[in-house]
Structure 1
Amino acid sequence: MTIDWIGFGYASMVAFGGILGYHRKGSIVSLIAGLSFGLFAGYGAYCVSRDLRDIKVSLYTAFLLTIIMGMRFKRSKKVMPAGIVAGLSLLMILRLVLLQL
């Protein structure tokens, strides 16, 4: 059993981003969304750690974050945090697809 360190790192960065958004701006929505998506991404990394072919949860989570944060980046033109999360999520999708080849 190999551990998906990249997936767990991605999940912790998403969760930490939600906590940071709450701490800096007082945004409860950022806290809830960050922790929820971080939890789903962490569970997805756990599933990938158990079976390299089981990427559904990780893929759906990264896809949703790419769409949501990509739209926020397009609207606000702010790289931090929307652009960074959208880019990392897109890289995560690419990584998960390459795992299947």
Structure 2
Amino acid sequence: MEKPLFPLVPLHWFGFGYTALVVSGGIVGYVKTGSVPSLAAGLLFGSLAGLGAYQLYQDPRNVWGFLAATSVTFVGVMGMRSYYYGKFMPVGLIAGASLLMAAKVGVRMLMTSD
């Protein structure tokens, strides 16, 4: 079998990047507006996404964990907030990143299901 031209990036690295984006979004929301709920949500959901990425790092077949739940939850919550406020930044960016993460996790779920 031929080796792929470009090696595939493991899903857990995308998960760690997504974690950093969620946590930094919560911190920026707190710094710019003083929003404690934004900070709490960013740290909570970022921690859950980080835990899911770590679980995925330990066992690549373990995609049914926190990473999937966090990304799907953020697609709904941030997508509705983006629609309600009519702005892309910052909630639309997080909704888009969450949608991409949920799609990537969903594809991995389909690939690993027996």
Q: Given the two structures, how large is their TM-score scaled by the length of structure 1? A: 0.93
The 2-side partners of 1:5 and 1:39 are apart by 15
The 2-side partners of 1:99 and 1:12 are apart by 21
Match status 1:43 vs 2:51: yes
The residue that corresponds to 2:70 in the other structure is: 61
Root-mean-square deviation over aligned CA pairs: 1.3
The 2-side partners of 1:34 and 1:75 are apart by 20
Q: Which is higher, the Rg of structure 1 or of structure 2?
A: 2
Structure 1 stretches lacking a partner, 5+ long:
none
The percent identity for this pair of structures is 42
**Does the Cα contact within 8 Å between 1:65 and 1:89 map onto a contact in 2?**
yes
Displacement of 1:35 in angstroms is 0.5
Structure 2 stretches lacking a partner, 5+ long:
1-9
After superposition, residues 1-101 of structure 1 pair within 5 angstroms as 4-55=12-63, 56-100=65-109, 101=111
The 2-side partners of 1:62 and 1:5 are apart by 15
The 2-side partners of 1:72 and 1:17 are apart by 14
Q: Given the two structures, how large is their TM-score scaled by the length of structure 2? A: 0.83
